[in-house]
Amino acid sequence: MKPAVLQLIDSFNQGGSERQALQLTRLLVESGRFKVHLASLSPEGILRDSISDLDLGEIPSFPLNSFTDQNAVKQLRRFVRWLKSSRIDILHTHDFYTNVFGMAGGGLARLPVRVASMRETAGMRSAAQKQVQRIAYSMAHHVVANSNAVREKLVNDGVAPEKVSVIYNGLDVRRLATTLSRAESLSLLGLPPEIEARRFIAILANMRHEVKDYPMFLRSARKVKEAVPDAGFLLAGEGELSDSLRGLAVELGIDDSAFFLGRCERVAELLAVSEICVLSSKAEGFSNSILEYMAAGRPVVVTSVGGAGEVVTEGETGYLVPSGDDAMMADRLIALLRDPERARAMGAKGKQVVESKFSCEAQLARTESLYDRLLEQ
């Protein structure tokens, strides 16, 4: 009988953790070595359609308002009963909320293998949340980090080194391919045809967390605009910080060149019309956006945080700049815009790196190997 594995996700909203978990779910189903189940804390989200073709059966949800109210107790009991009735052998959780809820339920159900995840280094959790997550890790048999930087953070926080493995994010490069023309891509992105001649710099990140540091990008954009008048800036992301960022663009005098796209479902088209791609985060675990940028053959200019240095080779596939240093970021962007041949060479090299090192096949092989080893133990 195949071992039964449950992937527990927070929701089906379009986030990096959710996309990676659903991609892993698909890879495991296609591999056929495990009986794959999927569950969530919230049943909502646009990504639900992406797994509609998989024969997953029931996809239960265990909605939470808090970890400390009566509903949390009710949902935990439901979860434990479901784990037992479904005879789950391996539970794999993917973010803060599923780590806490899942490891508690998995422990109560006495599951033989419980795998938690860590995908961030700093900047998103309060002191209380960090303490709760440490407890969750103590109930896990193993913790998956998505970069060496994250693994180092876990070990420094007290998780035993032998309990942590690095499995890099995998990327399906096929979904970044597009056959559309530049004009068609701009139209799908909601951009007017009169800006087709602009040379665009793109950033793809949510506008929910200040850790993404969009203000750094906008400050560098002003410097770039002064040096390269035909530059344009595409900001793809949604969240409660959007209005203040639009206001900052006006304050900096670049509102006529900064295009706020909101939630972007046409990532392939966004990257196809961009010359260079940026990430300005103060902290990261291992950014999906950087992999997407490079897989699309775009040179990158990103802050040297988290696992960025594990994928970006300075001067070969892009540039790493210190967090908050908008002047250096602007200098690197200006240099690439002024030397398009070098920019194209960097992009081509980056694409090769992603295809060889950060493939879906590598992600699946490492995950299945980990599951096998933990089941044997």
pTM (predicted TM-score):
0.78
Tell me what percent of the chain is helix, strand and coil, each rounded to the nearest 5. 50, 15, 35
HSE toward the beta carbon, residue 124, CA cutoff 13 A: 19
Within 8 A by CB and 6+ apart from 73, the residues are none
Q: For residue 117, what are its two tokens?
A: 């995840």
The CATH number of 4-170+359-376 is which of 3.60.20.10, 1.20.140.10, 3.40.50.10610, 3.40.50.2000? 3.40.50.2000
Helices 242-251 and 214-227, interaxial angle, to 10°? 30
DSSP per residue, 113-125? EEEEEE---SSS-
pLDDT of residue 14: 75
| pLDDT of amino acid 121 | 65
Q: So what's the architecture of 173-357 in CATH? A: 3-Layer(aba) Sandwich (3.40)
Give dist(CA 39, CA 27) in Å, integer.
16
Residue 252 has what pLDDT?
Answer: 97
Domains 4-170+359-376 and 173-357 alike in fold: yes
Distances (CA, A) of 27 to 20, 145, 359, 364, 368: 10, 19, 11, 6, 10
What is the predicted pLDDT for the residue at 375? 96
Cβ-count burial of 78 within 10 angstroms (0-12 exposed, 13-18 middle, 19+ buried)?
Answer: middle
C-alpha 184/C-alpha 249 separation (Å) is 26
Residue 147, amino acid: S
- Residue 124 is predicted with a pLDDT of 65
Please report the pLDDT score of residue 295 as a whole number.
Answer: 93
The domain limits of the chain are 4-170+359-376, 173-357
Give the pLDDT means over successive 10-residue stretches in the chain (377 positions).
96 85 95 96 90 92 91 96 97 96 97 93 73 93 92 92 93 85 92 93 94 97 97 95 96 96 90 97 88 95 93 95 97 98 96 89 94 95
Closest CA to 3 of 135, 113, 119, 115: 113
Residue-level pLDDT at 306: 86
